[in-house]
Amino acid sequence: MRMSEIFAPTLREVPAEAEIASHKLMLRAALMRKTMAGVYTYLPLGWRSIRKVEQIVREEMDRQCGQELFMPALQNPEPWQRTGRYDDYGSEMFKFKDRGGREVCLGPTHEENITTHVADEVRSYRQLPKLLYQIQTKFRDEIRPRYGVMRGREFIMKDLYSFDADQKGLDKSFERMYEAYCRAFTRMGLDFLIVEADSGAIGGKVSKEYMAIADIGEADIVVCEKCSYGANVERAEITARPEACPCDCPPKSKVETPDVRTIEQLEKYLSVPADRMIKTLVYLADGEPVVALIRGDRELNELKLRNAVGAKEVALADEETILKVTGAPVGFAGPVGIRCAKVLADFEIPAVKCGVSGANEKDVHYKDLCYGRDFGPFELADLRNAVAGDMCPECSNPLIAKKGIEVGHLFKLGTKYSVPLGCTYLDDKGESHPMVMGCYGIGITRCVAAIIEQHSDEKGIIWPMSVAPYQCLVVVVNTTDERQSRAGEVLYAQLKEAGVEVVLDDRDERPGVKFNDADLIGIPIRVTIGQKGLDKGCVELKMRRDSQAVLIPVEDAAKQIRAIVGAEIEGLDPDKR
Residue from 5, 14, 226, 264 in contact with RNA (CB under 7 A): 14
Contact criterion met (CB below 8 Å) for 574 and 183: yes
Instruction: Please confirm whether the linkage preceding 377 is cis (ω < 30° from 0).
Output: yes
Stretch that binds RNA, among 53-61, 345-353, 395-403, 502-510 (CB under 7 A): 502-510
CB closer to RNA, 1 vs 410? 410
Work out whether 412 is an interface residue with RNA (CB under 7 A).
Answer: no
Q: Could you say which of 81, 415, 516, 560 contacts RNA (CB under 7 A)?
A: 516
Q: Which of 5, 11, 377, 389 binds RNA (CB under 7 A)?
A: 11
Residue 15 touches RNA, criterion: CB under 7 A:
yes
437-450 per-residue burial string, b: 16 or more CB within 10 A, e: under 16: bbbbbbbbbbbbbb
Applying the rule CB under 7 A, the residues between 213 and 252 that interact with RNA are: 218-219
33-62 residues near RNA, rule: CB under 7 A: 34, 36-38
Stretch that binds RNA, among 44-52, 94-102, 325-333, 532-540 (CB under 7 A): 532-540
**The only residue of 206, 459, 490, 496 in contact with RNA, by rule CB under 7 A:** 459
- Integer CA distances (angstroms), 387 to 217, 237, 304, 344, in order: 16, 11, 15, 20
Q: Nearest 5 degrees, angle CA 60-CA 66-CA 67? A: 120
Q: Which is nearer to RNA, 371 or 492 (CB)?
A: 492
Instruction: Name the 3-class secondary structure at 163.
Output: strand
Interacting residue with RNA among 130, 317, 515, 565 (CB under 7 A): 515
Site track for RNA across 90-129, x = CB under 7 A: --x----------------x--------------------
Residue 513 corresponds to which amino acid? V
The one segment of 77-85, 93-101, 152-160, 392-400 that binds RNA by CB under 7 A: 152-160
d(CA 468, CA 53): 9
| Residue 151 contacts RNA per CB under 7 A | yes
* Contact status: 373 vs RNA (CB under 7 A): no
Name residue 98's amino acid.
D
Residue 466 vs 484, nearer CB to RNA: 484
Which of residues 66, 107, 335, 443 is near RNA by CB under 7 A?
Answer: 443
> What is the pattern of x (binds RNA, CB under 7 A) and - over residues 391-410?
---------------xxxx-
What distance, in Å, lies between the first and last C-alpha atoms of the chain? 32
Single out the residue of 13, 121, 243, 248 in contact with RNA (rule: CB under 7 A).
13
449, 405 contact by CB (below 8 A): yes
Candidates 322, 520, 557, 561; binder of RNA (CB under 7 A) is 520
Helix axis angle, 44-63 to 167-187, nearest 10°: 140
Q: Does 445 bind RNA (CB under 7 A)?
A: yes
Q: Tell me which of 549, 554, 560, 569 binds RNA, using CB under 7 A.
A: 549
- How far is residue 229's CA from residue 277's CA, in Å, rounded to a whole number? 31
The residues, any chain, with a CB within 8 Å of residue 441's CB and separated by 6 or more, are: 109, 157, 158, 159, 160, 408, 409
CA angle at residue 133 from 179 to 182, to 5 degrees? 15
